[in-house]
Structure 1
Amino acid sequence: MKPDVSTWIAQRGYRFAGMALYPFLRPALLYRVRKGKEDRARLNERLGHAAVARPDGPLVWIHAASVGETLAVAPLIEMVRGYGISILLTTGTVTSARLAAERFGDRVIHQYVPVDTTPSVRNFLDHWRPDLAVNVETEVWPVTIAELNRRRVAHIIVNGRISDRSFDRWMMRRGLARSLFSRFACILTQTDLDAERFSDLGALNVGVSGNIKVDREAPPADPREVGLLQESIGSRPVWAAISTFEGEEQAAAEVHLSLKARFNRPLTIIVPRHPNRAEAIALQLQEQGLKVARRSCGDPLEPDTDILLGDTMGDMGLYLRLTRIAFVGRSLTARGGQNPLEPAMLGAAVLTGRNVDNFREAYRQLRQRGAVRTVDSVEALRQSVELLMRDAKARETMVSAGFEAVREMRGALARTMKGLERYLAPLILEARFCAKSKSVKQPSHHSSDVLKRVPEAQASKIAR
């Protein structure tokens, strides 16, 4: 189906703008380096230039925008690797690149995703020649979609979701949406509502697989570090505000100041969504007379410490193992919500604000079980934290309900792999063929040694 005139103009305009701006990409990226948002040593990857050779055999390109998507897709990556298929993982942030290195090592090739301009994307695809492209959740890049389509590479979305705001924006450009989403070979969504929305936007092959974030293991933590912190905390009442955005740290501080009048030496753990804000947050808290221990600075957790500021990456499992009460941010003073499944997995009663559109289905299922309490103000948050600190039975009922809800939600990974089956099947066969070819060729590497061990006359026959 040919796009309408306005859609054609929009797509052409986007491409030409990218071509015109391409010469200025490096200065723009260098500016981002100064803000800590790019890796100077790997800027060429953002322009599509690789410093790593493509491996032989089939290769699946998986794109996970940031940390959350990288963690979510990790089990799927391991399953696909188990078939002997090479994985190229791209991400867009410095923190997700660091996480990929820690999580996968050299088992997976990591590259920064190329900027969505024709030269960058073509450089990238010319080098890597992926046999299948998989996007985690929903990042829609028009040039990348068009180039994969032109090369007849199947392009799939897994764990797909569309927020209310994104859906409304796409519906205002329905022709453009249809021209883009119709090019995906398959879209596997988290919920029925997401599937309906993708279909409304023009996707042709849509299925519901569930949220693969539920199927991954709970975030890990070093038992020794957990033990040391628990020993420092002792019997102090503890609660946590995690994945917080601007304004929510102040809300946590107000709750803490109120709790100090009611409990003996309460401890509040604050884990900002963006650790680079930690210095400003610490200063803000200290100005209110609160004693702050920053994890990144190795500050000791002392008996009179008010706030443990969790400003390190990859330690969510550590912080959540220290508490049985967790407020999940981006829901009170910011919009969209953050993932409530990790605290539920690790035995915390979950509190949240009302703005959880991005995780609506996860919260719905937790709420059905009674595993989450919704608050609409700082005072409501204080009341909920105080109730759960005082009432162990109410707290443990929520914790048990969270475990049960997570158990019922599992199975998305198996359904996702089932949805990918028809696209992976030929690659699995190719991987097996390549493995057999290598094993057959292996003796030839030692043919000269074999010739040395046989009589000269026989060796000449073999050589002939």
Structure 2
Amino acid sequence: MSGSLPFALRLYRMGMGVFERFLPGVLQRRAARGKEDPARLNERLGTAPITRPSGRLVWIHGASVGESLVGFGLAEKLREADPNLIFLFTSGTRTSADLMTKRLSAPDLHRYIPVDTPAAAVAFVTGWRPDLAVFVEGEIWPNLLLATKAAHIPLALVNARMTRRSIEGWAGRMRTARHLFSLFDLAMSADQRTAGALSLFRDGPINTIGNLKLAVTPPRIEPGKISALKHQIGERPVWLAASTHAGEDEVLIAAHTALRLGAPDALLILAPRHPERSMDVEIACRKQGLVPVKRSSGQVPDPSTPIWLWDTLGELGLAMKLAPVTFVAGSLQPGIGGHNPVEPVQLSSAVISGSFVENFRDLYQALEDHDGAIIVDDHSSDRIALAVAGLLGDPDRRDALTRQAGEVIAEGASAMADTVTGLLALLGRQN
């Protein structure tokens, strides 16, 4: 295999081959720091104690929570077309693993993606022997792709999305890019920018389908749970800061302080992207004189509680149903790229975002062009407070915003059906 590879790939395989002898110790040290699940380290080596289930197995890989949810929605639609399919999901973060483990039911499985060493890649592929491998969005692991191709397993890249930075990076390694992206039997891009890049990086057709995150089914939320919590909150003005990162919490807490000057009973639901940060977020709240209650402790805010710290997994949709306005975080500082605004729109919560939304630039631009979201370029707490106050105080404006956003999202609804058709065609080759 290695003789025909570009030099950079041969060098990568050699380096990862040397690294794999140290991998068990590295994983143990990472587990000691909480960065790996100590009970599941074998999965990172490509091995697992569970035998491959019999039947047609589709392997879907998504790097983190957002990609995993796309994969989950894709699996639901594939199963509607073929109820006998079994799905193996892989991801790389503990947060996504916890979420997928909660959502899945037998016979479907979740495993951590193996570290991309030659031995781990071969062990994973030969152990699971999937009938189809689907990579969501574009996390590229060379040894895994090469091992999958060598095993004659169809490979698909779906909802492919590349930032300007990643396109420039691949362009600087053109031979490597063309080799790796040409391994995919099917490539479907989420936007025109990625389609243009893939046309340079691979042999074979590029299908510009649209963003699958527009087609993800909103989470199922029990109406009784919503009504009970709304009754406990009462008629207070409520807004949500969703998926916050370190450095953003302080700005949003300060915005809430400013908001409460005009609306003293306002409640902020503050949901950190990574719930394990809840202690740091609580300290940030207390430093600004706002003492929160914590969702993970089963606490519900009383009329004087200023902040509800939403430090649980898999419940963000419930928070969006409680809050008529959602500030989508990950957008207040460079380097994160923003988060997906589709879910709050689906759940009728008006969207506000900062301007650092590189990962969803096309979507946010479409929303802004159609007056379906508010993008604040001034990331000061006062500016954010004004935007939130404007929507909380104007139900008609909120409704118009969510209605326009819903129309934008509906334009991408066919993406899922087209992707399912393409994947079923690949599976048909295995008959």
Deviation sequence 1:20-53 (CA, Å, 0-9, x none):
1112111211222223332212211111112111
Letter in structure 1 aligned against 2:18 = A
Normalising by structure 1, report the TM-score.
Answer: 0.87
Question: Does 2:428 correspond to 1:420?
Answer: no
Query: In structure 1, the residue corresponding to 2:58 is in which secondary structure?
Result: strand
- Determine the structure 1 residue equivalent to 2:11: 13
Query: In structure 1, the residue corresponding to 2:123 is in which secondary structure?
Result: helix
- Determine the structure 1 residue equivalent to 2:31: 33
Query: In structure 1, the residue corresponding to 2:22 is in which secondary structure?
Result: helix
Query: In structure 2, the residue corresponding to 1:90 is in which secondary structure?
Result: strand
Distance 1:325 1:47 in 2: 43
- Determine the structure 2 residue equivalent to 1:239: 239
- Determine the structure 2 residue equivalent to 1:105: 105
Query: In structure 2, the residue corresponding to 1:36 is in which secondary structure?
Result: coil
Pair 426,173 (structure 1): closer, same or farther in 2 beyond 3 Å: closer
Deviation sequence 1:65-107 (CA, Å, 0-9, x none):
2221121122321333342233222122222222222222113
- Determine the structure 2 residue equivalent to 1:355: 356
- Determine the structure 1 residue equivalent to 2:56: 58
- Determine the structure 1 residue equivalent to 2:195: 195
- Determine the structure 1 residue equivalent to 2:66: 68
Deviation sequence 1:217-261 (CA, Å, 0-9, x none):
212333333223212221111111111112221111111111111
> For structure 1, which segment, 105-114 or 131-140, has the greater mean C-alpha deviation from structure 2 after superposition?
105-114
- Deviation, 1:286, is 0.4
Distance 2:409 2:125 in 1: 38
Q: Percent identity?
A: 37
Pair 121,222 (structure 1): closer, same or farther in 2 beyond 3 Å: same
- Deviation, 1:3, is 9.6
- Deviation, 1:342, is 0.6
Unaligned runs of 5+ in 1: 431-464
Deviation sequence 1:157-199 (CA, Å, 0-9, x none):
0111101221121122222211211221111111122111111
Is the CA contact (8 Å cut-off) linking 1:72 and 1:212 kept in structure 2? yes
Is the CA contact (8 Å cut-off) linking 1:66 and 1:92 kept in structure 2? yes
> For structure 1, which segment, 28-37 or 258-267, has the greater mean C-alpha deviation from structure 2 after superposition?
28-37
Is the CA contact (8 Å cut-off) linking 1:371 and 1:398 kept in structure 2? yes
- Deviation, 1:203, is 4.8
Question: Does 2:169 correspond to 1:169?
Answer: yes
Distance 2:339 2:176 in 1: 29
Pair 390,56 (structure 1): closer, same or farther in 2 beyond 3 Å: closer
- Matched length: 425
- Determine the structure 1 residue equivalent to 2:228: 228
Letter in structure 1 aligned against 2:399 = E
Question: Does 2:406 correspond to 1:408?
Answer: no
Query: In structure 2, the residue corresponding to 1:271 is in which secondary structure?
Result: strand
Distance 1:162 1:202 in 2: 14
Question: Does 2:146 correspond to 1:146?
Answer: yes
Distance 1:256 1:87 in 2: 43
Is the CA contact (8 Å cut-off) linking 1:290 and 1:307 kept in structure 2? yes
Letter in structure 2 aligned against 1:349 = A
Pair 338,203 (structure 1): closer, same or farther in 2 beyond 3 Å: farther
Is the CA contact (8 Å cut-off) linking 2:131 and 2:154 kept in structure 1? yes
Is the CA contact (8 Å cut-off) linking 1:232 and 1:303 kept in structure 2? no
Query: In structure 1, the residue corresponding to 2:20 is in which secondary structure?
Result: helix
Distance 2:347 2:129 in 1: 41
Is the CA contact (8 Å cut-off) linking 2:212 and 2:412 kept in structure 1? no
Letter in structure 2 aligned against 1:28 = V
Query: In structure 2, the residue corresponding to 1:232 is in which secondary structure?
Result: helix
Distance 1:281 1:109 in 2: 33
Letter in structure 2 aligned against 1:135 = F
- Deviation, 1:216, is 2.2
Query: In structure 2, the residue corresponding to 1:33 is in which secondary structure?
Result: helix
Question: Does 2:319 correspond to 1:316?
Answer: no
Query: In structure 1, the residue corresponding to 2:326 is in which secondary structure?
Result: strand
Query: In structure 2, the residue corresponding to 1:261 is in which secondary structure?
Result: helix
> For structure 1, which segment, 216-225 or 362-371, has the greater mean C-alpha deviation from structure 2 after superposition?
216-225
Distance 1:81 1:51 in 2: 26
- Determine the structure 2 residue equivalent to 1:81: 79
Unaligned runs of 5+ in 2: none
- Determine the structure 2 residue equivalent to 1:397: 400
Query: In structure 1, the residue corresponding to 2:311 is in which secondary structure?
Result: coil
- Determine the structure 2 residue equivalent to 1:49: 47
> For structure 1, which segment, 117-126 or 104-113, has the greater mean C-alpha deviation from structure 2 after superposition?
104-113
Query: In structure 1, the residue corresponding to 2:187 is in which secondary structure?
Result: strand
Is the CA contact (8 Å cut-off) linking 1:142 and 1:180 kept in structure 2? yes
> For structure 1, which segment, 338-347 or 162-171, has the greater mean C-alpha deviation from structure 2 after superposition?
162-171
Among 384, 387, 390, the residue aligned to 2:390: 387
Distance 2:118 2:350 in 1: 48
> For structure 1, which segment, 139-148 or 35-44, has the greater mean C-alpha deviation from structure 2 after superposition?
35-44
Distance 1:282 1:50 in 2: 38
Runs of 4+ in 1 over 6 A off after TM superposition: none
Distance 1:383 1:45 in 2: 48
Distance 2:150 2:116 in 1: 15
- Deviation, 1:345, is 0.6
Is the CA contact (8 Å cut-off) linking 2:44 and 2:115 kept in structure 1? yes
- Deviation, 1:358, is 0.6
Pair 85,218 (structure 1): closer, same or farther in 2 beyond 3 Å: closer
Distance 1:99 1:108 in 2: 14
> For structure 1, which segment, 356-365 or 301-310, has the greater mean C-alpha deviation from structure 2 after superposition?
356-365
Query: In structure 2, the residue corresponding to 1:106 is in which secondary structure?
Result: coil
- Deviation, 1:398, is 0.7
Letter in structure 2 aligned against 1:408 = E
Letter in structure 2 aligned against 1:416 = T
Is the CA contact (8 Å cut-off) linking 2:249 and 2:284 kept in structure 1? no
Distance 1:168 1:120 in 2: 29
- Deviation, 1:325, is 0.9
- Determine the structure 2 residue equivalent to 1:339: 340
